Amino acid sequence: MAFAKAQSGAITLIDIRTPREWRQTGVPVGAAPIDMRRKDFVQALEQMLGGARDAPVALICARGVRSARMTRAVVAAGFTNVLDVPQGMLGSASGPGWLAGNLPVARWQG
């Protein structure tokens, strides 16, 4: 669902994992990598969304734990249309994940 919505332009997909993780698995095709540990994460996200805090955005991490936490944090910061990708890249109790689902990844060029 996140892949289809990102490809259609219905949402902006943000990979919030670390550069080490991006190097290991790649980044979902159509996703923008923004390391959640950045002190300016909220500002970087706002810039990615063109300043529109009501723009649809989905956050993905490895297994859905960090993305769930960051979803709550960015909603608290004033973003109003935030989705969590609970399966993450590697899978969770919510499902097999991006990689096992054979969804496309791009090599991270960082």
Residue 102 tokens read as 């054979």
By the 8 A CB rule, do 21 and 39 touch? no
Which residues form the domain of 97?
A: 2-106
pTM for the predicted model, two decimal places: 0.96
Number of domains composing the chain: 1
Distance CA 21, CA 26 (A): 8
Q: Tokens 């608290």 belong to which residue?
A: 76
Q: What pLDDT digit, counting tens, does each position of 8-54 carry? A: 999 999 999 999 999 999 999 999 999 999 999 999 999 999 999 99
Strands 57-60 and 12-15: parallel
Q: Tokens 């909603």 belong to which residue?
A: 75
Q: Other CB atoms closer than 10 Å to residue 71's CB: what's the count?
A: 21
CATH at residue 26? 3.40.250.10
Any residues with CB less than 8 A from the CB of 20 and at least 6 apart, and which?
none
Kindly report the backbone phi and psi dihedral angles of residue 15, in degrees, each rounded to the nearest multiple of 5, phi listed first.
Answer: -90, 110
Q: What pLDDT digit, counting tens, does each position of 88-107 carry? A: 999 999 999 999 999 999 99
Strands 105-106 and 27-28: antiparallel
